[in-house]
Amino acid sequence: MGAFPWSMAKSRPRLLLHVTLWFIVSSLMVVGSTVAKVRHFKWSVEYTYWAPDCEERVVMAINGQFPGPTIRACAGDTLHIELTNKLSTEGVVIHWHGIRQVGTPWADGTASISQCAINPGETFTYRFKVDKVGYFDMLQPGTYFYHGHYGMQRSAGLYGSLIVDLAGGEKEPFHYDGELNLLLSDWWHKSTHEQEVGLSSKPFRWIGEPQDELVGKGKGGGCDSPRK
């Protein structure tokens, strides 16, 4: 009988630790639920003409923009992206590169694996949280990007930036002067359809090295008179 009070006293630190951890996790969940937002986007994917290096060619654009719109959200936010496929003959999916899709594997955008391709004329809504990882679902910011995951659509220009900032109320641990988002991409003057045929041919046929490289947000390089 004399050992009973001693065993209770010995277990108190462990009980106190469990209560403390529960309180911390509960506080984080409350803070996250009050700060996190749902951010809505409405996109249309279709082909258009573009001349970033003054050599005009057909590219795949989102809402008429190439590269696609930059998404900026805070860690823990939910993205709600309504995507309409306005292509005439191709399916389309978007993969959110680097987002772990915890609990939302159907939003990962991998054609024939996590979802069927969105057919021409159809609309699909992606809904997922950015970003969730680690113990107690601690939130993690980062610089990511999204891209087409069907055929050669990424090479055709279907990509853009996805920037996840710190959750609301959190402070940046490092001091820096500023930031600039850069997107780099190889740029061929020949079409992606020609690339695809060459890559899948037997024997293999290479269309050659890219003619240019894109830097930045793809404003067209200031070209007033593109070569057609």
Give the global pTM: 0.73
Q: Between the CA atoms of 208, 109, 97 and 221, what dihedral angle is there, to the nearest 10 degrees? A: 50
The pLDDT tens digits of the residues spanning 134-143 come to 445 555 678 8
The pLDDT tens digits of the residues spanning 115-172 come to 888 999 999 999 988 875 544 555 567 888 999 888 778 888 899 999 888 887 677 7
**81 three-class SS:** strand
Q: Tokens 């696609």 — which residue?
A: 68
**Per the structure block, which two tokens stand in for 5?**
């009070």
Q: Between the CA atoms of 134, 96, 200 and 91, what dihedral angle is there, to the nearest 10 degrees? A: 140
The pLDDT tens digits of the residues spanning 8-53 come to 455 566 656 655 665 565 555 544 444 778 899 999 999 998 887 7
The pLDDT tens digits of the residues spanning 187-205 come to 888 888 878 777 778 888 8
**Per the structure block, which two tokens stand in for 221?**
């390089």
**Per the structure block, which two tokens stand in for 85?**
């496929």
**Per the structure block, which two tokens stand in for 1?**
């009988």
Residue 207: pLDDT over 70? yes
Instruction: Report the distance separating Cα 227 and Cα 8, nearest Å.
Output: 83
Please report, as a single letter, which amino acid is at residue 103. Answer: G
Give 124-152 as a DSSP string: EEEEEEE-B-SGGG-B--EEEEEEE-STT
Domains delineated in the chain: 35-171+181-214 (2.60.40.420)
Contacts of residue 189, defined as CB under 8 A and 6 or more positions apart, other chains included, come to 55, 57, 211
* Cis-peptide into 13, omega within 30 deg: no
